[in-house]
Structure 1
Amino acid sequence: MKSTEQFLSVHPVLAVKDVLASIGFYVHNLGFTLAFADDAKDPKYAGIRRGNVEIHLQWHDASEWEHTVDRPMLRFLVSNTADLFEEYKNKGMFHAQTSLKETAWGTKEFAFYDLDKNGLTFYEDV
């Protein structure tokens, strides 16, 4: 039997300590826009969007943050890593050792962490 469903998109949900602060980080520093929030003043769940990418941010209590090594790493396929690298560098988004690198697996990429140590890698195929 042939399946008729098609996967059209995925919206990863990142656990965050402060949804409002995370919205600010992604909107003001990374160029995302607010897609929705469950509450304007004290959101516990929100979505942010840039281009065709949408990420959801979900509040988690501090007691759930004991293990920092199991934070997710998101990989964003972008069309021009050099321009995006410069945009984020000019906003002071990463430390001096962060660099735009060509990898052995055929990509050009850079990476850093958000406020809650979720890993963000931006890459393009070369």
Structure 2
Amino acid sequence: MLTDINPKLPMRDKSVTREFYLNRLGFKEFGSADFDGYLMIEKDQIQIHFFEFKELNPKENYGQVYIRTDNIEEFYKSLLDKQTEIHPNGKLETKPWGQREFALLDPDNNLLTFGQNI
């Protein structure tokens, strides 16, 4: 029955969030309408949606998304080539639970963890 999931994360500034995801992570905007206070992006087979939360304190934001990939090495290298900051505790490594993972924070402190089965 269930076919997909599109997480919704908070953002303080739509233009900052758009720039980060499009230029740093290689996403593109999804849809033909530009909704005030709402942003939809996609890359390959996934979408992430954002809602405006201007009063968000990034230090109190615990938004998190786990994104699976089938070529983590190439994606990680592409981010490093764009000088995208990787989380200090989230460098690419093999985890004891059988995943190769890395993590980064977006401008609003949403944690994005990328993983691939090994």
Task: Give the TM-score, by structure 1 length.
Answer: 0.83
Give me the whole-angstrom Cα distance separating, in 1, the residues matched to 2:30 and 2:108.
20
Q: 2:78 is aligned with what amino acid?
A: E
Give the aligned partner of residue 63 of structure 2: 72
Taking only the aligned residue pairs, the percentage that are identical comes to 24
Gaps of 5+ in 2: none
Q: 1:20 is aligned with what amino acid?
A: S
2:109 equivalent to 1:114 = no
Residue aligned with 2:2, SS: coil
Task: Give the TM-score, by structure 2 length.
Answer: 0.89
Contact 2:61–2:109 (8 Å) recurs in 1 = no
1:67, distance to aligned residue in structure 2 (A): 6.9
Gaps of 5+ in 1: 1-5
2:51 equivalent to 1:55 = no
What count of residue pairs does the alignment treat as equivalent? 116
Q: Structure 1 runs of 4+ off > 6 angstroms?
A: none
1:38, distance to aligned residue in structure 2 (A): 3.2
1:94, distance to aligned residue in structure 2 (A): 1.4
The one of the two structures with greater contact order (alpha-carbon pairs below 8 A, sep at least 6) is 2
Give me the whole-angstrom Cα distance separating, in 2, the residues matched to 1:89 and 1:67.
24
State the superposition RMSD in angstroms: 1.8
Give the aligned partner of residue 15 of structure 1: 10
Q: What is the CA deviation profile of residues 36-83 of structure 1, one whole-angstrom value per residue up to 9, with x for unaligned ones?
A: 3534xxx31010000110011111122xx2473442111110011110
